[in-house]
Amino acid sequence: MEKTYHIVERSDSESLADCLVKNGQGLLPMVELIEQSQKAVDDLIDGVGRATIEAVLKLSAQGVAGPPHPGKKGGAVGWHGRETGTVCLRERKLRVKRPRLRQKEQGEGGEVPAYEAMRAEGKLSSRMLEILLRGVSTRQYAAVLPQMAETVGVSKSSVSREAIEASEEELRRLCERRLESLELLILYVDGLCFGEHQVLVAVGVDEQGQKHALGLAEGASENSPVVKGLLEDLVQRGLKTGRKYLFVIDGSKALRAAIEAVFGREHPVQRCRNHKLENVSSYLPQELKGQVKTVMRAAFRLPAKEGMARLEKQAEWLEREYPSAAASLREGLAEMFTVTNLNLSTSLARCLVSTNVIESPHSGVRLRTRQVCRWRDGKMVLRWAAAALLMTEKNFRRIMGYKDLWMLKAALGRNQEPSKEKAA
């Protein structure tokens, strides 16, 4: 037998309010209670809410067993007193009195249909995880709930269990996400720190400029097996390899080698200019950092050939007294100008010469995990990172200069893909 479902909307509560006003005699005692006493409105709503739930349970029981008839024999299902039960609200459990039913012939109990629906906990764990990711610690969880008598299930241990279950589901959902349907142009890969642990995150940008969380792995971008494993996992989940992508990375040699090993040499790679500025200046005394950064930024605004020549002169100037800074400046120099050589619009190129596009999701993840004081192990880190990344993904916006992505698509030779695939 099919069930009839009804979607509750705001208009439903308005209609109910209008009905209650028209038949307001039953509400007069409540009005007087509010006007004449100091009882908090929240406490009043709490009591009314529990009474409403218990009334719904009674009505549901009547739909199965009919109205109770003390001293009279009813039908096949009869009333058998009341007992304490628990129903699940959005972020807590509420203890209520529920009717008991009994099958007279078999002598077995039967559940009230409404109670079966209200006790389902499917959304409780995800709601708890959402609250925790918004900055409420497990120790403070009970304090954010309305003060409700006989409310159960809000101890920090129960919150932790619910959060673990929900975050494990989020990690599974991210790691099993299929990628065949995504028409990606750009892949960003960068690391994120959680205490002593590091997580490598991959984010893609499609032809419309929308960002997508692709995957993550425990480890640093300097760890070759971790980097290669993450990229291979993306391919296994459907990332198309028979086309060119623009990779934007932080400059890690291991990451660069992994891209070549998994995808081949033909893919353009842009190294983050912001990382290069910080890496070079880290080898310099404080009084020279600003000067060298200014020279590098000016060179980045020049055409590729002129900019590289200007930075080579800067490296020669640093060579004598600061050889480590000179070596850092020369390392991967050509890939500082990969986007420049693609001849893209200024707004789009500005977005693609650094890892800022993935740094923004990283900031959202840090914000949502800031209350965690102790990272016990890598599994915990992955669960929280995945859950926070997926929540942050809901707020993703299109990248700057997305209207000019057709230029990147043409530069990557992607406009000819359909005919090639058809011929294949």
**Residues forming a β-bridge with 110:** 101
Contact 228/262 with Cβ under 8 angstroms? yes
**pTM of whole model > 0.85?**
no
Structure tokens at 354: 């650094």
Q: How far is CA 182 from CA 30, 179, 260, 314, in A?
A: 56, 6, 22, 42
Per-residue pLDDT of the chain (424 residues; tens, 9 = 90+): 455 545 555 555 566 666 665 666 666 666 665 555 544 545 555 555 666 667 767 777 777 777 776 655 556 677 777 788 776 665 566 677 778 777 766 555 566 666 666 665 545 455 555 555 555 555 544 545 444 434 444 555 555 666 677 778 888 888 889 999 999 999 999 888 888 888 999 999 999 999 999 999 988 878 888 889 999 999 999 998 888 999 999 878 888 899 999 998 889 999 999 999 999 999 999 999 999 999 999 999 999 999 999 999 999 999 989 999 999 999 999 999 999 999 999 999 998 999 988 888 888 888 888 877 788 888 888 888 888 888 889 889 999 999 999 999 999 988 765 444 433 3
How far apart CA 207 and CA 17 sit, in angstroms, is 48
Q: How far apart, in whole angstroms, are the C-alpha atoms of residue 210 and residue 204?
A: 8
Residue found by looking up tokens 């005699």 in the block: 25
Paired strand residues for 246: 186
Q: Which residue do the tokens 């893909």 mark?
A: 417
- Give the angle subtended at the CA of 275 by the CAs of 187 and 332, to the nearest 5°: 75
